[in-house]
Amino acid sequence: HPLNEWITPEIQDRNERILKRPPVLDIQKLHKSFEHKGKPVEVLREIDFTAYKREFICVVGPSGCGKSTLARLVAGLETIDDGQILMDGAAVNAPGPDRGMVFQSYSLFPWMTVKDNVMFGMVESGMSKLTAESEALQWIDLVGLEKFADSYPHQLSGGMKQRVAIIRALANQPKVLLMDEPFAALDPKNRLKMQQYLLEIWQNIDITIFFITHDLDEAIYLADRILVLDAHPGRVKEVVNVPLPRPREEETFLSPAF
Ligand code: ADP
Ligand code: MG
């Protein structure tokens, strides 16, 4: 791939450092087919990929190549036909708190305030309401939404809703954050702001991000490595190391009040 020709000693060094980290998400010889009109249709064929601690991985590929299916398999929302997915060495076969998920459609609970949306998972997992509330408010502050803690999702802009969806997922302290085209519905200006928010969060907490997009520019901007899938069936075409520095890194960081 042309991008791999740009690998400087600095990038080489970074890649070697990444590969010395422990693997977090290990996808091994993964196969998946769906039934269509009574016949099996192969969607993913022999996907092999390892994501290491604190890596930012983007997955790109043409529409229908199985990107969402791959994310749903990692999330434990689909059954595995063959092969396996390991999280910290343990096989995945159901959703779990070690994997958080953010979708394009936000999927916030419309009847709950921002604060209640963010608290929800923490309370479900047994945290006291008081502690969950104080943690939720810290997350809400972190993304500059303190004035909106008691607002409802319909009162927020798309970018704000997506910030809530991200902190709701992060509040449960997952090891891997799965994001399926999370910013695809945003206008370019808000998309860039969300990308910068996400990078800032990622640089400050211990999380591996598995980010799906059909936008190669977005992938190049965000990722350490890009997993490129081929279509029909979805297969690993290549894994691209993204050159540093990030192309738009020099652009000004957002103020929390956008
Ligand atoms: P992408 O996210 O890359 O666009 P998807 O993972 O959504 O691709 O879909 C890959 C293929 O699998 C498509 O052909 C789609 O129609 C099919 N598919 C996805 N989910 C299901 C399902 N639950 N049942 C049957 N077919 C499905
Ligand atoms: Mg998809």
Of 123, 169, 176, 124, which Cα lies nearest the Cα of 143?
169
Q: In the β-sheet with 208-212, what is the strand arrangement from edge to edge?
A: 99-103, 176-180, 208-212, 56-60, 225-230, 235-241
Q: In the β-sheet with 90-91, what is the strand arrangement from edge to edge?
A: 39-52, 23-36, 82-87, 90-91
Please report the pLDDT score of residue 249 as a whole number.
45
Instruction: Check if 62 has its Cβ closer than 6 Å to any atom of ligand 1.
Output: no
Please report the pLDDT score of residue 99 as a whole number.
96
Ligand nearest to the CA of 62: 1
Burial code of 98-121, b = ≥16 C-beta within 10 A, e = fewer?
A: bbbbbbbebebeeeebbbbbbbbb
Please report the pLDDT score of residue 5 as a whole number.
60
Give, using CA atoms, the residue closest to atom 20 of ligand 1. 69
Please report the pLDDT score of residue 208 as a whole number.
95
Please report the pLDDT score of residue 256 as a whole number.
35
Residue 87 belongs to what H/E stretch? strand 82-87
Please report the pLDDT score of residue 203 as a whole number.
85
Q: How far apart are CA 85 and CA 25, in angstroms?
A: 7
Instruction: Check if 45 has its Cβ closer than 6 Å to any atom of ligand 1.
Output: no
- Express each pLDDT in 59-111 by its tens digit: 999 999 999 999 999 999 999 999 999 999 999 989 999 999 998 888 899 99
Q: How far apart are CA 142 and CA 120, in angstroms?
A: 18
* 66 CA closest ligand 1 atom index: 6
Interval between CA 62 and ligand 2 midpoint (Å): 9
Of 206, 165, 176, which Cα lies nearest the Cα of 71?
176
Interval between CA 33 and ligand 1 midpoint (Å): 9
pTM summary value: 0.88
Interval between CA 99 and ligand 1 midpoint (Å): 21
Interval between CA 238 and ligand 1 midpoint (Å): 21
| pLDDT of 49 over the 80 cut | yes
Instruction: Check if 213 has its Cβ closer than 6 Å to any atom of ligand 1.
Output: no
Interval between CA 59 and ligand 2 midpoint (Å): 11
Interval between CA 212 and ligand 1 midpoint (Å): 14
- Express each pLDDT in 173-198 by its tens digit: 999 999 999 999 889 888 998 998 89
Instruction: Check if 117 has its Cβ closer than 6 Å to any atom of ligand 1.
Output: no
| pLDDT of 250 over the 50 cut | no
- Express each pLDDT in 235-245 by its tens digit: 999 999 887 66
* 78 CA closest ligand 1 atom index: 23
* 63 CA closest ligand 1 atom index: 4
Give, using CA atoms, the residue closest to atom 16 of ligand 1. 64
Cβ-contact 195, 247 below 8 angstroms: no
In angstroms, the first-to-last Cα distance of the chain is 37
